[in-house]
Structure 1
Amino acid sequence: MSRSLKKGVYVHPKLLKKVLKVNAAGGKGPIKTWARASQITPDMIGITFQVHNGHKFIDVTVVENMVGHRLGEFSPTRTFRGHGGKMAKDQAAAESSAEKARVQAAQAA
Structure 2
Amino acid sequence: MARRSIWKGSFVDLFLMKKTRENEVSNVGLRSRDAKSSSAALRSSSTGVTILRKIWSRRSSILPEFVDCGVRIYNGKTSVRCQITEGKVGHKFGEFAFTRKRRPSRTNIGPGRRGKK
TM more than 0.5: yes
When the two structures are superposed, what TM-score results if normalisation uses the length of structure 1? 0.69
Q: Which residue number corresponds to residue 31 of structure 1? A: 53
Structure 1 CA distance for aligned equivalents of residues 14 and 101 of structure 2: 30
Is the contact between residue 53 and residue 77 of structure 1 (CA under 8 Å) also seen in structure 2? yes
How far did 1:60 drift? 0.8
Unaligned runs of 5+ in 1: 95-109
Secondary structure at the aligned position of 1:4 is classed as coil
Out of 88, 91, 101, the residue aligned to residue 79 of structure 1 is: 101
Distance verdict in 2 for CA 1:83–1:29, change over 3 Å:
closer
Structure 2 CA distance for aligned equivalents of residues 38 and 63 of structure 1: 16
How far did 1:51 drift? 0.3
Q: How does 1:5-44 map to 2 (within 5 A)?
A: 5-26=6-27, 27=44, 28-44=50-66
Kindly report the root-mean-square deviation, in angstroms, between the aligned alpha carbons of the 2 structures: 2.2
Over alpha carbons, which structure has the higher Rg?
1
Does 2:49 align with 1:49? Answer: no
Distance verdict in 2 for CA 1:11–1:83, change over 3 Å:
same
How far did 1:89 drift? 7.1
Structure 2 CA distance for aligned equivalents of residues 22 and 9 of structure 1: 21
Q: Which structure is higher in helix share?
A: 1
How far did 1:70 drift? 0.3
Secondary structure at the aligned position of 2:20 is classed as helix
When the two structures are superposed, what TM-score results if normalisation uses the length of structure 2? 0.65
Structure 2 CA distance for aligned equivalents of residues 43 and 24 of structure 1: 14
Is the contact between residue 58 and residue 75 of structure 1 (CA under 8 Å) also seen in structure 2? yes
Distance verdict in 2 for CA 1:89–1:54, change over 3 Å:
farther
